[in-house]
Amino acid sequence: MKILKFGGTSVGSAARIKGLLDIVNPSERQIVVLSAVAGTTNALVEISQAYLVGKKDEAKQLIKQHKDKYESLIKELFTTDQGYKNGKDLIDYHFDFIGSLSNEHFTPIEEKVVLAQGELISTALFHFHLNEIGVPSVLLPALDFMKIDEDNEPMVSYIGEKLNALLAKYPDNTLFITQGFICRNSFGEIDNLRRGGSDYTASLIGAAIQADEVQIWTDIDGMHNNDPRVVKNTTPIAHLSFNEAAELAYFGAKILHPQSVFPAQKYNVPVRVLNTMDPKAAGTLISKDGAQKGIIRAIAAKDNITAIHIHSSRMLLAYGFLRKVFEIFERYKTPIDMITTSEVAVSLSIDDTTHLADIIKEVEDFGTVSADENQTIVCVVGDFGQNTHGYAARVLDAVKHLPIRMISYGGSDYNVSILMDSEYKTEALRSLHNRLF
Ligand code: ADP
Ligand code: ASP
Ligand code: MG
């Protein structure tokens, strides 16, 4: 079984939805995971924001605008009266439902329900399209098997059990379709895997049912060696290790959801990143043996980082100090990305600032604390193992004209990370690119 995930642009128009069959071979056993049509989730976020602040008229207008786009899409997608009727009933149902929420008390719970509509629509449209042209397919509701626990962690064994049971009901079918991004939480409510989460869905499904391969079909020819939105002349990387790809995704390479490599890595399912607009391009293979000795592979950057500096003379020659500090972050379920220490001070970085004020208040018991927002982690991935030398110097040399806040080296064999003020990110990415590649 293969898992093929198509992102928003890959299902972004009637022509693209029809074009999926150039890539999907209906006679091969596969699960096709779809994102919402490009722009839809952003629109649903806007509608929810309007509802949350009580701007019902604005929400209504946004709903109308967005529904109009789908009206044009279905006119182009379906060629028979019945096909068109299926499409029309579908979008009427979903947009009427979103509209009906204007009468409800709108909370973040309703917001998640609204955000789920995009994937529910795109998968049903593809399924109806396949029906219309006589290609058999089964639509598997992700809300029946994708689940996260009380810590928002996906429940891989549960997903595997439920999904295998569903698949077993259709022994003669080969083509299955399901929604990316959406899931249920521990209360059974509709939830999601965070923005860009369809990649994560594909990898979780691949891991849960031990698929042969996960394919991430997107709008670019693989994982590039730097952010193509910021730097010119980036190039695709043919083969990466799970560790390298996980590091790049976690540290900001938008092409993959930050968590999406971990499930595939844990269950050793190879991931290919491929281009829907150029299906013959080689793309990127991510697998166990993808690392290359002695070279720097790629650069990524993660924004919206907050740096926290704790200065405490109590740290001098003391043990147990860091544990006490880490326990505070643990209690507030706030992951730490980078950390550096000296005799009397520790600096660390976080990206989830939900509990920042509480954390600072508690850490202040240990010493003087300061926090700086608008920081960026620039992450360079490659062979930084103990047997290599000179690479860290090359990285630092490339950013020597920029003020840097923290450096992390030696945490793993394949990454050097640098924290800096976000205003220097573009220059850092360009300078590193020019000097390292
Ligand atoms: P999808 O909708 O298919 O999930 P995304 O927009 O989430 O697509 O991801 C693809 C985009 O990621 C590319 O168009 C590119 O602009 C951006 N991107 C950022 N960093 C990288 C990188 N290192 N390699 C390739 N693409 C990247
Ligand atoms: N549609 C969702 C989003 O835009 C999930 C995804 O595209 O991966 O974030
Ligand atoms: Mg994406």
Looking up residue 320, the CATH number of its domain turns out to be 3.30.2130.10
373 annotated as ligand-binding = no
Taking CA atoms only, the protein residue closest to ligand 2 atom 9 is 195
Q: Which among 182, 217, 252 is the end of a domain?
A: 217
Residue 274's DSSP bridge partners are 217
Work out whether strand 213-218 and strand 271-275 pair parallel, antiparallel, or are unpaired.
parallel
Same domain, 300 and 188: no
The CB of 35 under 6 Å from ligand 2? The reply is yes
Please state, in angstroms and as integers, the Cα–Cα distance from residue 96 to each residue in 35, 99, 100, 211, 419, following that order: 21, 5, 6, 37, 47
Is residue 270, in this structure, part of any structural domain at all?
Answer: no
Ligand 1 centroid to residue 312 C-alpha, Å? 42
Taking CA atoms only, the protein residue closest to ligand 2 atom 5 is 196
The CA angle 319-323-328, to the nearest 5 degrees, is: 145
Please state, in angstroms and as integers, the Cα–Cα distance from residue 66 to each residue in 112, 118, 192, 408, following that order: 18, 11, 21, 45
Three-state DSSP state, 302 = strand
The CB of 244 under 6 Å from ligand 1? The reply is no
CB 77 within 8 A of CB 69: no
Is residue 267, in this structure, part of any structural domain at all?
Answer: no
Same domain, 92 and 189: yes
For ligand 2, mutation pick of 16, 41, 120 (most atoms within 8 Å of CB): 41
Q: Which among 183, 201, 217 is the end of a domain?
A: 217
Three-state DSSP state, 147 = strand
229 annotated as ligand-binding = yes
Residue 147's DSSP bridge partners are 184
CA distance 150 to 67: 34
The CB of 73 under 6 Å from ligand 1? The reply is no
Report the pLDDT value the prediction gives residue 317, as an integer from 0 to 100: 65
CB 320 within 8 A of CB 297: no
Ligand 2 centroid to residue 195 C-alpha, Å? 5
Query: pTM for the full model?
Result: 0.95
Same domain, 39 and 166: yes
41 annotated as ligand-binding = yes
Is residue 169, in this structure, part of any structural domain at all?
Answer: yes
Is residue 61, in this structure, part of any structural domain at all?
Answer: yes
Please state, in angstroms and as integers, the Cα–Cα distance from residue 411 to each residue in 190, 223, 336, 382, following that order: 37, 23, 13, 13
The CB of 198 under 6 Å from ligand 2? The reply is yes
Ligand 1 centroid to residue 7 C-alpha, Å? 10
For ligand 1, mutation pick of 40, 254, 432 (most atoms within 8 Å of CB): 254
Same domain, 199 and 314: no
273 φ, ψ (degrees, to nearest 5): -105, 120
Burial 98-130 (b: 16+ CB within 10 A, else e): bbebbeeebeeebbbbbbbbbbbbbbbbbbbbb
Burial 302-329 (b: 16+ CB within 10 A, else e): beebbbbbbebeebeeeeebeeebeebb
The CB of 220 under 6 Å from ligand 1? The reply is yes
- At position 404, the amino acid (one-letter code) is I
Please name the residue ranges forming H helices in 78-155: 81-100, 108-132
Q: Which ligand is nearest to the CA of 183?
A: 2
5 annotated as ligand-binding = yes
CA-226 nearest atom, ligand 1: 23
Ligand 2 centroid to residue 120 C-alpha, Å? 12
CATH number at residue 53: 3.40.1160.10
Contacts of 369 (CB under 8 A, 6+ apart): 308, 309, 310, 311, 360, 363
7 annotated as ligand-binding = yes
Report the pLDDT value the prediction gives residue 342, as an integer from 0 to 100: 86
Q: Which ligand is nearest to the CA of 35?
A: 2
Same domain, 208 and 106: yes
CA distance 375 to 321: 25
Is residue 13, in this structure, part of any structural domain at all?
Answer: yes
Same domain, 208 and 317: no
Sign of CA dihedral 123, 42, 154, 297: positive
CB 99 within 8 A of CB 63: yes
Same domain, 196 and 313: no
The CB of 181 under 6 Å from ligand 2? The reply is yes
CA distance 125 to 71: 12
Same domain, 304 and 212: no
Number of domains forming the structure of the chain: 2
Is residue 283, in this structure, part of any structural domain at all?
Answer: no
Same domain, 33 and 170: yes
The CB of 34 under 6 Å from ligand 1? The reply is no
Q: Which ligand is nearest to the CA of 253?
A: 1
CA distance 123 to 298: 34
Query: Which residues constitute the domain of residue 308?
Result: 295-434
Q: Which among 154, 187, 217 is the end of a domain?
A: 217
CA distance 305 to 308: 10
The CB of 258 under 6 Å from ligand 2? The reply is no
Is residue 278, in this structure, part of any structural domain at all?
Answer: no
CA 150 centroid distance within chain: 20
Same domain, 211 and 301: no
Same domain, 322 and 420: yes
CB 285 within 8 A of CB 276: no
Is residue 256, in this structure, part of any structural domain at all?
Answer: no
Same domain, 303 and 413: yes
Along the 437 residues of the chain, how does pLDDT read in single tens digits? Answer: 999 999 999 999 999 999 999 999 999 999 999 999 999 999 999 999 999 999 999 999 999 999 999 999 999 999 999 999 999 999 999 999 999 999 889 999 999 999 999 999 999 999 999 999 999 999 999 999 999 999 999 999 999 999 999 999 999 999 999 999 999 999 999 999 999 999 999 999 999 999 999 999 999 999 999 999 999 999 999 999 999 999 999 999 999 999 999 999 999 999 999 999 999 999 999 999 998 888 999 999 999 999 999 998 776 667 888 899 999 999 999 999 999 988 889 999 999 999 999 999 999 988 999 999 999 999 999 988 877 788 889 999 999 999 999 999 988 889 999 999 999 999 999 999 999 99
CB 36 within 8 A of CB 73: no
